[in-house]
Amino acid sequence: MTALRVADRAEASRWVLRAVRTRPVLTATVTMLCTVTAVCAVIPVLALGILVDRVSSHATAGSLIPVALLAAGAAAVGGLAAGATMYGVARLGADVIADLRAEAVDAALHLPRAAIEKAGRGDVLSRLNNDVTVINRAVTTVIPTVVTAAALTVVSVIAMAGLDWRLGLAGFSAIPFYVAALRWYIPRSAPVYAAERVAAAERAQAIVESVTSRDTVLAYDLQTRELDRIEVSSARTRDLAVSVFTLFTRLVGRVNRAEFVGLAAILSIGFWLVSTGDVTVGATTAAALLFHRLFNPIGMILYSSAELQLAGAGLTRLVGVVEATTSAPAGDSGVDPPVSQVPEVGVTLRDIWFGYTPDHAVLRGLDLDIPRGHRLALVGASGAGKSTVGGLIDGTLRCDHGEIRTPAGAQIFTVSQDVHVFAGPLIDDLRLAAPDATRAEAFEALATVGADGWVRALPSGIDTVVGEGGCRLGDAQAQQVALARLVLADPEIAILDEATAEADSDQAADLDRAALAATAGRTTLVIAHRLSQALTADSVAIIADGVITEHGPPDTLIGAGGELTRLWNTFHGRHLGHHDPSDPIRQLQQTITSDARTHR
């Protein structure tokens, strides 16, 4: 499995700076608020130093009041500015992340299918979901605090130097220890965070593949293998998280060492300067308090490096999607695919070779015929190349070698397992396949797939708003809508890529009947995950290791003692012995066909 590219830090930084520059007003406002917050946070400490000196010189109470009012006023303004700063930074960050997610989704939608298949859907989903979540959490909670802490640190150091350059130098003595802590931590933790993001993507891929292929997993008795695969990827993610935490605890010790060095230096130098009369007790007190107040801000910056690195790893992965090249997939020469269109033919594939990577062929000289108007079910384990065959026929993939023949001018329509119900009136959702379809034609398509009953029961019938913000349709209902789109599109060639695999057991027969009715009279390739889908086909082809190993009518293959026989026995949970396997098959075919005609 080859993941999508990951941008380097320079690319990610350039993208962020470019996005920030597009919002000059908000950026300038945030910068001003950060400065005001930091200055207002320092003023009360300096005021306290003045109060110490005046009290030491036995000044009158009246002379203390203006200083106290100044400190109180600065604290009040600083509190308001701090709140506004946190909001402004979070707002700026949220806007930038919104742009990044929109660009990443748009780029992902335009990625070649071969690139997605090569990386795995889990990698793409983890970037657009998990990585965005991590970045958004950092932007809304961590980065605002870090930005204000950085501004306060800069202003505090300047203030200490303003009291006396030697006090500032004493405080500055802690900087090398802070830098040393980061130089120790970042090189060790950054690769671990990046590896954790990759491990999370691999875990997501393992889960997605296992869930979407659950029927195949059950049919081929692959449960143990898939569970082991998920367990291994989850354990790696866990171990990496533990490693990160271990590194972080060691960082805390180094930060405490830097704090001790800085505060001890200020107190020692301050004591010496006070004893020589070069600075006052109030100035030394203010310098010590300024440095002590930096414990939390500097600690926040350092301790937040974990979240920031995690977000940084996610950022490079998202920018990698945005700036991913759209070069042709492996085996694509950049010319038209070897597909010829001839009259009076169904679909013919001859000597097809295809691989998502040059060193691994998914299909190896595959030959397959689907006569015109014929329904063929393609059966095989997950990863055997079933969906690849569908992608080659509908043109979303290009073979490395071989020839694909289809009827001249034939429209090809694919219904995948990952059906989507778009937000809006149901009639508009149906018209995506046929914009000029009338309401009567839409209802007829729904009736063909057996969906007219529940559609009429909706609050506003076919005009009911469905999808996000509207009436939520179940998996089986969504798949019926997708099949109704196929009926409205009225293609000559239909590809059902596990189009009814999400159905529960009590819905499977209804969806099988709907699929049979929607594809009646069409040249149809069914990529089957349930045996019932294969049994209703005119013929079945078993694919393994990139070639067709069995091909023929389902009852013939079941009686032949091959792979389909094994699947049939597994499906029933027993050996058939001398029972004639053709009778139950034909009964199932006749039942589903009869019901499908009734829906027609």
Q: Quote the CA–CA distance of 356 and 388 in Å, as a whole number.
A: 10
Tokens matching residue 464: 């009911």
Residue 540: phi and psi, rounded to 5, are: -125, 140
Instruction: Say if residue 295 is in the same domain as residue 397.
Output: no
Residue 334 lies in a domain: no
Query: 297 and 445, same structural domain?
Result: no
* CATH for 512: 3.40.50.300
Give the pLDDT confidence of 64-97 residue by residue, as tens digits: 888 888 888 888 988 898 888 888 888 888 888 8
Q: Are residues 317 and 343 in the same domain?
A: no
Q: Pick the more confident residue, 531 or 26.
A: 26
pTM over 0.85: no
Tell me the pLDDT of the chain averaged across its residues.
79
pLDDT band at 16 (very low <50, low <70, confident <90, very high): confident
Which pLDDT value is given to residue 143? 78
User: What pLDDT is stored for residue 257 in this prediction?
Assistant: 87
* The pLDDT value given to residue 332: 44
**CA angle at residue 465 from 461 to 471, to 5 degrees?**
90
Same domain, 527 and 450: yes
Shared domain for 292 and 171, answered yes or no, is yes
Looking at the structure, do residues 458 and 551 belong to the same domain, yes or no? yes
Last residue of a domain, one of 322, 350, 376: 322
Given this model, what pLDDT does residue 488 score? 93
> 134: buried, middle or exposed (CB in 10 Å: 19+, 13-18, 0-12)?
buried
Let me know if residue 329 belongs to a domain: no
Whether 334 shows a pLDDT value over 70: the answer reads: no
Say what the pLDDT of residue 1 is: 44
Residues 373 and 284 reside in one and the same domain: no
Between 388 and 321, the more confident residue is: 388
Select from 346, 385, 345 the least CA-distant residue to 364: 385
What is the band of 572 on the pLDDT scale with cuts at 50, 70, 90?
A: low
User: The sheet that has 401-407: what strands, in order across it?
Assistant: 339-342, 401-407, 347-354, 363-370
Instruction: Say if residue 258 is in the same domain as residue 349.
Output: no
Domain extent, residue 445, equals: 339-599
Domain shared by 308 and 345, yes or no: no
Does the residue 515 lie in any domain? yes
- Closest by CA to 94, choosing from 36, 143, 35, is 143
Domain of 25, CATH number, reads: 1.20.1560.10
What is the number of H-type helices and E-type strands within the chain? Answer: 24, 12
pLDDT 10s digits, 437-496: 999 999 999 999 998 899 999 888 899 898 877 888 888 888 899 999 999 999 999 999
Residue 223 lies in a domain: yes
In-domain check, residue 562: yes
Boundary residue ending a domain (322, 348, 369): 322
Q: Which of 276, 295, 322 is the last residue of a domain?
A: 322
Q: What is the pLDDT of residues 125-160, one digit of tens each?
A: 667 777 777 787 777 777 787 787 788 888 887 888
Task: Indicate the number of domains in the chain.
Answer: 2
What is the per-residue DSSP string for 346-367?
A: -EEEEEEEE-SBTTB-SEEEEE
User: Which H or E run contains 403?
Assistant: strand 401-407
**Considering the domain boundaries, does residue 270 fall inside one?**
yes
Predicted confidence band at 277 (pLDDT cuts at 50, 70, 90)? confident
302 and 377 share one domain = no
Rounded Cα distance between 114 and 92, Å, is 36
User: Same domain for 254 and 349?
Assistant: no
**Would you say residue 328 lies in a domain?**
no
Residues 199 and 343 placed together within one structural domain of the fold: no
Task: Answer yes or no: is 2 within a domain.
Answer: no
